[in-house]
């Protein structure tokens, strides 16, 4: 089962905190001893070692210096930066506009060979029609982004779709049936998007699965996520963007994807569900 964003980030903070605590103990110092050397309140040492307060890079430098372990400073600061980068609030990621947020994802899409994406909210970006993308990004911009560069952001996302046609890349998309029936942008946009899904799903390097809405499921929907090869998972949350790189956590998302895949239908059965959604749109 996929882990939550909060537990994932907190676990990474815990690992960093444990390393700092171990360093202090190896130096033969109590928390009070280290606090006195650093000119800090002992409570700060406790908060850092219990992962209640994140240290700054300067805190880590001073900590290593007083524990006579300056050879570990660079590695610990890299760990700190990794923790800081795991969860990025949307307001920080999108402060320069939506186009820049789209461009920031380009490197991971270019270097990935195997893509797996599960969505319980929207059609994944790589298989969105232009009109659907515009409707989604316009809604995002109106809700939380001061800069209006939606046209440029749409162009950036459309340009990213070229990876669908690059040799050696394979894609597996899983969509909840509700994604086909509760869309965005209105009837015409959804009609175009559903037709686009049928076309995209016919490509030989794309597997498109639809998880039917039914009352007897044994695996409930979860937050949408992307798995890039077997090295990174990205999760889009209400509050921000989560990046997961720890191998055991990536494997949990891979296992969740496999479990959800067992509930999906493919080929003619998937097209039948899409066609049914199209017919209901008239």
The two tokens of residue 199 are: 């076309």
What single-letter DSSP state applies at residue 265?
B
10-41: per-residue pLDDT in tens?
777 888 999 999 999 999 999 999 999 999 99
**What are the phi and psi torsion angles at 116 (to 5°)?**
-130, 130
- The residues spanned by each domain of the chain are 5-86, 94-280
DSSP H or E run through 197: helix 187-201
Task: Look at residue 8 in the predicted model and tell me its pLDDT.
Answer: 61
Give the pLDDT band of residue 92 (cuts 50, 70, 90). confident
At residue 128, φ and ψ (nearest 5 deg) are -85, 145
CA 111 – CA 73 distance, rounded (Å): 30
Q: Which H or E run contains 114? A: strand 114-119
Supply the CATH classification number for the domain 5-86.
Answer: 1.10.260.40
DSSP H or E stretch at residue 60: helix 57-66
> Residue 101 and residue 163: Cα distance in Å, rounded?
18
Query: pLDDT for 118-159, tens place per residue?
Result: 999 999 999 999 999 999 999 999 988 999 999 999 999 999
Calculate mean pLDDT across residues 218-225. Answer: 89
Sign of the four-CA dihedral 182, 183, 186, 188: negative
Q: Return the CATH fold of 94-280.
A: Endonuclease; Chain A (3.30.870)
Is residue 200 within 8 A of residue 206, CB to CB? The reply is: yes
């Amino acid at each position: 089962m996929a882990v939550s964003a909060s537990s994932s980030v907190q676990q990474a903070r815990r690992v960093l905190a444990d390393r700092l605590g171990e360093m202090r103990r190896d130096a033969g110092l109590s928390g009070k001893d280290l606090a006195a050397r650093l000119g800090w309140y002992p409570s700060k040492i406790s908060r850092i070692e219990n992962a209640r307060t994140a240290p700054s890079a300067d805190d880590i430098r001073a900590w290593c210096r007083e524990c006579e372990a300056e050879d570990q400073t660079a590695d610990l600061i890299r760990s700190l930066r990794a923790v800081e980068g795991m969860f990025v609030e949307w307001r920080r990621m999108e402060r320069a506009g939506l186009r820049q947020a789209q461009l920031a994802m380009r490197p991971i899409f270019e270097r990935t060979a195997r893509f797996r994406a599960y969505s319980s909210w929207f059609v994944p970006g790589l298989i969105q029609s232009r009109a659907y993308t515009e409707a989604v990004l316009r809604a995002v911009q109106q809700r939380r982004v001061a800069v209006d560069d939606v046209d440029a952001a749409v162009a950036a996302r459309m340009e990213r779709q070229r990876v669908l046609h690059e040799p050696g890349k394979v894609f597996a998309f899983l969509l909840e049936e509700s994604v086909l029936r509760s869309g965005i942008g209105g009837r015409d946009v959804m009609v175009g998007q559903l037709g686009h899904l049928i076309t995209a799903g016919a490509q030989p390097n794309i597997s498109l699965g639809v998880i039917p809405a039914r009352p007897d499921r044994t695996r409930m929907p979860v937050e949408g996520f992307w798995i890039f090869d077997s090295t990174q998972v990205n999760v889009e949350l209400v509050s921000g963007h989560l990046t997961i790189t720890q191998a055991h956590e990536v494997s949990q998302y891979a296992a969740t994807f496999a479990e959800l895949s067992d509930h999906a239908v493919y080929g003619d059965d998937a097209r039948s569900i899409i066609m049914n959604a199209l017919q209901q749109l008239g």
